[in-house]
Amino acid sequence: MCHSILAEVEIKVDLLVPSNINAHSINYLRQMRFALAIAAILATASHLSAYELPKVGSGALARELQDFVNAFPINDVLEYTRVYLSRDKEFQWALNFMRNEEMRAFLDDVESLPEFATFMDYLVENGLNGYALFDTVKEVMEARLERVNVHSNLRVTGGLAGYVADVITAALVTNMQNLFHNKVATSVVFKNFVSEILSGRYDSLLTSTLTNVHFQRVLHQLRYLDLDDETFYANFYLLLVSKALVYVHN
């Protein structure tokens, strides 16, 4: 049963992918297919004290998703992020581009969607303070990251796509997939959460980076500057994770 649910999540991602995105980018999206919502939560979790998701009420959903946070190799990702932020101009531009006025307008549009309020209510009812997480997302997006010199022997691929390839290892994907399978098989709370995401109620929310005019303007600006807009689009939540980690630990 858990395999069929994971397959359904993959199908959902395929339906949300624009036709002009190449197979390489689609593969990155599929790697994160089990985390359409978890990615956003993980992105903000790194900013919270002791990496704990904010519980409310029963705290049930927060506890289930906390295992994904705990399984994320924060120290490894942080080291890669610091090195890239120190040495790679494309990566520096991408993270600081999140402070763009169009990005702020994009978040305002997301927050005004009826589906946003519905989703936040669902999270709260099931034990996760989604409103606190979204406030943290906005704080991280607004943060300005200063370039600092980093002394590290870490070898990196370079570029925005290189960063994603260095961070999203096969081992990480396998570990997250295995955790997803286990959660669906053993946790009613998590299984219901995945079913809620797949229900179709939040498609406008999930496709907001594709359809929102402000986010599309950001991608256009990246293309104009000859930056990798495809990788930025396909891995937006991962980059938000990265920015949050550096923001907290600088």
Q: Which residues of the chain have pLDDT under 50?
A: 1-37, 39-41, 43-44, 46-50
What is the reported pLDDT for 38? Answer: 53
Residue 146: what pLDDT? 79
14 to 22, 161, 197, 205: CA distances (angstroms): 12, 20, 15, 16
Question: Are residues 127 and 56 in contact, defined by beta-carbon separation less than 8 angstroms?
Answer: yes
**Tokens describing residue 96:** 């600081």
Look at residue 51 in the predicted model and tell me its pLDDT.
66
Which of 168, 140, 130 lies closest to 37, judged by CA? 130
Q: What is the CA radius of gyration of the chain?
A: 17
pLDDT at 48: 44
Token pair recorded at residue 191 = 């299984």
With b for 16 or more beta-carbon neighbours within 10 A and e for fewer, the 136-160 pattern comes to: bbeebbebebeeeeeeeeeebeebb
88 close to 155: Cβ distance less than 8 angstroms: no
At residue 222, the pLDDT reads 92
pLDDT tens for each residue of 199-233: 888 888 877 877 899 999 999 999 998 999 988 98
